[in-house]
Amino acid sequence: MKNSEDSFKIPHSFGYCCAVAASSLCFVILFESLMVVSSLGSETATNFSFAMKAFELFAFTVMISTIGCLFSFITSIIPFLIGLAIAIKFRIHSPVYFIVGGAITGGVLCPLFLSIPNFGFNVQNPEPDSMMGLIVSLSILVLSGAVAGWTYWRLCHRKKPSRA
């Protein structure tokens, strides 16, 4: 009889897709929370109704979700494959490895995210506002990457407890 660790194995591709989905969800929640708290994403000076503002927030959330998921899926595949090859080669199953790898991937991809026109913060000029935008974007992407790493580890590399 096979070991319980080998009896249930989630494919790496499915784990990667779940990690991207978790990362995108984390990104959307953090980004939308920032927009609501700072009132950057809504019209506060107008007399729009609550329903109109809610619809605007919903539409913006759908846009952010779509762009965030596509961005994560396309840009993180190469760092994911490199990290996976290292983990398999050296038989690494530590959650810290995957969390740190995801966080580093998020941090490295931050400048690419910021270069998306009309989506990222304007960091072309080293002004205090643009530097604050860079710091906020970096922290959101690093945290989202860490969530992706933890999700992937949880699904694909966690040692399952043996049932006696």
For residue 161, name the pLDDT band (cuts at 50, 70, 90).
Answer: low
Q: Is the pLDDT reported for residue 42 higher than 70?
A: no
- Longest C-alpha distance within the chain, in Å? 69
Give the dihedral sign, CA 90/99/17/64.
negative
For residue 25, is pLDDT > 80?
yes
Give mean pLDDT, residues 123-144: 75
Q: Phi, psi (5° rounding) for residue 119?
A: -125, -50
* 3 HSE (CA, 13 A, CB side): 7
Q: What is the chain's mean pLDDT, rounded?
A: 81
Predicted pLDDT at 134: 80
Q: Tell me the average pLDDT across 97-106.
A: 96
Residue 40 has pLDDT above 80, yes or no: no
What's the pLDDT at 4?
Answer: 46
The domain limits of the chain are 11-157
Q: Whole-model pTM?
A: 0.81
